[in-house]
A = this chain, B = another copy of it.
């Protein structure tokens, strides 16, 4: 298969500074030549399907040389379905600051949903093609041909990155047996079912070169899926997870050899003390390919609050090596998120990404904190609220406090603190002491 000129990785390797790289670098305020070098080395990606690019995609880089990015999952399910709801959720996620969107729909008219979402999505858009393969097909009906056709169709539609669970091998299934939670990746579970039923190797692994050939035509970026990601702390960093990771490292190299950009997906549920190791081992085994993690969730006991358990793990992951955080909403494990859950999930994930960037000393992350704090120190409420991660929520809380303290709204820029009043406000005293 001849690599087309459109493939970003090949162009970067040829020292060509494309418009895509320039735009992505400008958005980040990083040097374009640095970004090109990182893309060429496989340490950064710019997921950009040529079709989506032609229809308004704004290039966005993912890697350690740029800020930590976050993804929001949306999608109709067999359980609950409304296209309008999902469109709304996508816009809520984008407004709250999501850097990428994944459509995980498993119900409704999948093509219509995907095309509608894509047409309104200015950021990298990902899917898990195997989800469509199983819709309306029993396990015996799923064959190599069906899989490739769906991958090709979705590539043609403009999807920027595909989760491909090609690393979960038949021989890994034995390693799942001692697990508490077994396989919690839906893609992983259905491929496992397929492998057991047909007594054959993972079709995505066997078809890997064919899949590369299709993806390179549209320059779709790989997101190598972790079908064996741990679904609870007890299963974290186990033999099954690490065996799959080894295969993902091999597949990373194979995809690179074909000129494809690659991200690698990661856990999952991981106790806080194992996060550093998980980030470092992935970077090593997958040769520095950007790591895209789900969470990690640092404890299992908080259904209803897993945006928080994920923000904890996400910060640690971003500090120690991840480049891309998949959000988790408060409703994870319990049901499908509504628009407000999506918003909460995006904000928690953005907090983690930003806190990770502050910790690793990236770019102007710490400077953003400082700028807000200077406004706070000056009791400049207007600026303080404007610079916050969610100005509307912060402003509402502040105005509510003003009303409740019977001092009226609109006290921005006045020498008054909604927490401790005026006389003994520490910030006010500090202001006095500075003089």
Please tell me if A423 contacts chain B, counting CB pairs below 8 Å: yes
Assembled-state Cα–Cα distance A153/B315 (Å): 45
| Minimum C-beta distance from A93 to chain B (A) | 16
Chain A, 334-374, CB within 8 A of any chain B CB: 334-336, 347-348, 351-352, 354-356, 358-361, 366, 368-370, 372-374
Q: Which of B180, B302, B404, B433 contacts A351 (CB 8 A)?
A: B302
Residues of B with C-beta under 8 A to A372? 300-301
User: Which residue of the partner chain, among B181, B304, B377, contacts A373 with CB atoms under 8 Å?
Assistant: B181
Interface flags, A420-435, vs B, CB<8A=1, else 0: 1101111101111110
Interface size bracket, A side = 35 or more
- CB contacts under 8 Å to B, within A183-232, are 183-186, 188-190, 192-193, 196, 231-232
Instruction: Give the distance in Å from the alpha carbon of A277 to the alpha carbon of B417 in the complex.
Output: 32
Stretch at the interface among A6-14, A18-26, A36-44, A392-400: A392-400
Q: Are A189 and B309 in contact (CB under 8 A)?
A: no
List chain B residues, Cβ under 8 A from A360.
273
A149: Cβ under 8 A from any B Cβ: no
Q: Is the CB of B196 within 8 A of A433?
A: yes
Tell me if A's interface is mostly helix, strand, loop or mixed.
helix
Q: Select from chain B the residue with minimum beta-carbon distance to A335.
A: B401
Known: A303-B394, A432-B193, A433-B176. Is A233-B358 also a contact (CB below 8 A)?
Answer: yes
A348 adjacent to B183 (CB under 8 Å):
no
* B232 and A370 contact, CB distance less than 8 A: yes
A53 near B: Cβ within 8 Å? no
Q: Of the listed stretches A57-65, A114-122, A256-264, A381-389, name the one at the interface; the rest are far from the partner chain.
A: A381-389
Report copies per complex. Answer: 2
Partner of A312, one of B330, B347, B352, B421: B352
User: Is the CB of A234 closer than 8 A to any CB of chain B?
Assistant: yes
Distance in angstroms from A172 CB to nearest chain B CB is 12
Across the interface, which residues of B come within 8 angstroms of A123, CB to CB? Answer: none
Contact in complex: A181, B377 (CB < 8 Å): yes
B369 touches A301 (CB 8 A): yes
Q: Is the CB of A234 within 8 A of B298?
A: no
A331 contacts the other chain (CB 8 A): yes
Cβ-defined contact, B355 with A433, below 8 A: no
Chain B residue with the shortest CB-CB distance to A368:
B301
Cα A100 to Cα B156 in complex, Å, equals 59
Chain B: minimal CB distance from A358 (Å) = 5
- Enumerate chain B residues within 8 angstroms of A301, measured Cβ to Cβ: 351, 354, 368-369, 372, 387-389
**Least CB distance, A82 to chain B, in whole angstroms:** 10
B419 touches A333 (CB 8 A): yes
Q: Chain B residues near A184 (CB, 8 Å)?
A: 426-427, 430
Supply 10 A–B pairs (Cβ within 8 Å), ascending by A.
A180-B374, A180-B377, A181-B373, A184-B426, A189-B429, A190-B424, A234-B373, A272-B316, A334-B398, A335-B404
Residues of chain A touching chain B, judged by Cβ–Cβ distance below 8 Å, are: 77-80, 106, 134, 173, 176-177, 180-186, 188-190, 192-193, 196, 231-234, 269, 271-273, 298-305, 307-309, 311-312, 315-316, 319, 330-331, 333-336, 347-348, 351-352, 354-356, 358-361, 366, 368-370, 372-374, 376-377, 384-385, 387-390, 393-394, 397-398, 400-402, 404-405, 407, 418-421, 423-427, 429-434
Known pairs A181-B430, A269-B373. 10 more at Cβ < 8 A? A182-B431, A183-B433, A190-B424, A232-B376, A271-B359, A300-B370, A300-B372, A301-B372, A331-B397, A334-B401
